[in-house]
Amino acid sequence: MKTRWNLDALYTGFDSPEFAEDCKKLDSKNEEYEKFVNQISENSKLPEILKKYIVLRSEIKALTEKLFCFANLSFCTNTNNAKANSYIESVTVKENRTSLADVKFIKWLAASGFDPKTLSGTDLEECIFHFEELITKGKHILDDQTEQIISNLKLVGSSSWMNLHNVLISSLTGKISTVDGRNEIKPISQIRALAYSENADVRKKAYESEIRAYRKIEKAAAACINAIKGESIILARMRGYSSVLEMVLTKNRMEKSIIDTMFSAIKEYLPFFRAYYRKKAQMLGLNSALPFYDLFAPVTSGTQSNFTYSEAAKFIVDKFSTFSSKLGNFAKNAFENDWIDSEIREGKVGGAFCENLFSISQSRILANFDGSYNDVRTIAHELGHAFHGHCLSNNVILNTSYPSPLAETASIFCETIINKAALKEADKKSALAILEADISSAGQVIVDIYSRYLFESALFKARETAPLSPEELCDEMLKAQKEAYGDGLDENILHPYLWLIKPHYYNPDWNFYNFPYAFGLLFAKGLYAKYTETGSSFTEKYEFLLSETGKRSVTDVAKIVDVNLNDINFWKNSLELIKEDITEFLNL
């Protein structure tokens, strides 16, 4: 089994004639698309236009994806590859060209009065949702001149504020005293990583150093966040949305009532997470509640790191096969056909991700496998994303994009399969470590995300009238954390500056990039609960659900497995699974 992926199915190299040919082809398709969009008139025949659009736009999407992914995947395994880097940029330029023509087409479609439902029963039936979504989008696009002004001003507005924040954070350092009493200056990222240290004193000092460091840049960071959020408020209003949240929800294909129901359920289950944090304080030998700086303290000695890569592959394939042979065989194929780049080597990016390549009905997974159980789980997680892509691949390529709340469905589902199996086989010590890792990360996704959602809601409300001072931002953050963590954490030692360090708050395109995490985890857990209830008859429905995620609203996707997302009991059932883990952990 190879530990490097093979990209030949895309291109054999940047110098290959196929690569050059596709670059040229994308340009000519873009030109054809522009011409087509410019020639649409009142006299044009609608069915023909829609058909031509689907064909042309699908070709462009497939070509763009193929070229971009080849450049990007090549770059990720060798960040010194200058050629790859320059092609990433040139394909992005081509993509922007397509977007300009898209806007014209979308505006025309929205103004045409066309009802996509009339396509029912025709060979374009599967594109009804796609057209409906375009029309909704079209209703929020402004006139050409205004759009031009907005996109130019965004570059010198929110994008520049985001860059400034990046510069502030990446050059920020903190002073920290070492074990032997010397003072050291370290980048903030290294100081933050000390939150995972085994040494309690190091964790505390790192936290104190972090807070001191933030005070140096709080005024500048507050200016950034006020500008970025202020711009979002103005744009949402101009585009005819009632709020920034409504704009985000529309993009995510869901209604507000769903998040309200989900957070109502979460509120009911917060006491169980708090009990876990109190237990953690006890395990660390504290007489008081858990201070924020001990939130990530290791309390278990961890599972032994004893998986070879082929053992990991076998473990995953075996466990996946207990769910369905289709999932098992899919993973086997990915391992055997060099879809996974697993080895750690210089020049390769860190972390892990999965890229679904719809143009060739395959996927590629990047990982940095170190033999630990954690990394086995990571590969299982990424294979979940790949399987999601596989289920989607029988759609037209325009129906393969799913919204962020559904993005983690298959990955967390696969992780759950692996975790349950590993727990069954583990001795007491390893079981404790697996449970702890799982509960701790669920705590971040449920409790911390809830605090971030509360904070961002309060921030937008206050920003409507005036910019917030650093003190006000810290106050709002503390209020949100108190409400979410309750008596689980020491209310005198929270983290007032999370608004300053979390990058999500500074990306103008990522407003409210918090609830999708909680949604993703609980939706996947809820599906797993359904699977344990209904057994093997669930697998086919589950695969069908994944295949439909690109062409239905979130509510309608859930309906496939008879789930009503406005029913609080669905969310409670998912939370019940985490509660069971917490109870087991407390007992162990």
Q: Where do contacts with Zn ion occur on this chain (CB under 5 A)?
A: 411
Minimum CB distance to Zn ion, residue 97 (Å): 30
Whose Cβ is closer to Zn ion: residue 411's or residue 547's?
411
Return the amino acid letter for 422.
Answer: A
Minimum CB distance to Zn ion, residue 385 (Å): 6
DSSP 479-532: HHHHHHHGGGB-TTS--TTHHHH-GGGG-TT-TT-SHHHHHHHHHHHHHHHHHH
Whose Cβ is closer to Zn ion: residue 400's or residue 411's?
411
Best CA proximity match to 273, nearest among 442, 38, 407, 67: 442
Whose Cβ is closer to Zn ion: residue 411's or residue 416's?
411
Minimum CB distance to Zn ion, residue 354 (Å): 7
Minimum CB distance to Zn ion, residue 447 (Å): 20
Minimum CB distance to Zn ion, residue 381 (Å): 6
Minimum CB distance to Zn ion, residue 415 (Å): 9
Cα 497 from Cα 290, distance rounded (Å): 18
End-to-end alpha-carbon separation of the chain, Å? 38
Minimum CB distance to Zn ion, residue 410 (Å): 9
DSSP 352-370: -EEEEETTTTEEEEE----
Q: Which contiguous run of DSSP H or E holds residue 175?
A: strand 173-177
Minimum CB distance to Zn ion, residue 400 (Å): 17
Best CA proximity match to 450, nearest among 553, 527, 521: 521
Task: Retrieve residue 504's tokens.
Answer: 């999500």
Whose Cβ is closer to Zn ion: residue 228's or residue 521's?
521
Minimum CB distance to Zn ion, residue 357 (Å): 17
Whose Cβ is closer to Zn ion: residue 64's or residue 411's?
411
Whose Cβ is closer to Zn ion: residue 74's or residue 411's?
411
What is the number of the residue whose Cβ is closest to Zn ion? Answer: 411
* 8-state DSSP, 552: S
Minimum CB distance to Zn ion, residue 408 (Å): 5
In this structure, the number of other CB atoms found within 10 A of the CB of residue 493 comes to 15
Q: Which contiguous run of DSSP H or E holds residue 173?
A: strand 173-177
Cα 573 from Cα 61, distance rounded (Å): 39
Whose Cβ is closer to Zn ion: residue 408's or residue 490's?
408
Close Cβ partners of 513 (under 8 Å, ≥ 6 residues apart): 404, 504, 507
Cα 74 from Cα 71, distance rounded (Å): 5
> What phi-psi label fits residue 535: left (phi over 0), alpha (psi between -120 and 50 degrees) or beta?
left
Whose Cβ is closer to Zn ion: residue 81's or residue 404's?
404
Whose Cβ is closer to Zn ion: residue 230's or residue 389's?
389
CA angle 339, 343, 349 (to 5 degrees): 90
Task: Retrieve residue 546's tokens.
Answer: 């994944």
Cα 390 from Cα 330, distance rounded (Å): 9
Cα 325 from Cα 319, distance rounded (Å): 10
Whose Cβ is closer to Zn ion: residue 157's or residue 520's?
520
Minimum CB distance to Zn ion, residue 356 (Å): 12
Whose Cβ is closer to Zn ion: residue 411's or residue 511's?
411
Residue count (the chain): 588
Q: Which contiguous run of DSSP H or E holds residue 187?
A: strand 183-187
Coil vs helix vs strand at 349? coil
Whose Cβ is closer to Zn ion: residue 415's or residue 543's?
415
Sheet holding 340-341, edge to edge: 340-341, 362-366, 353-357
Minimum CB distance to Zn ion, residue 446 (Å): 17
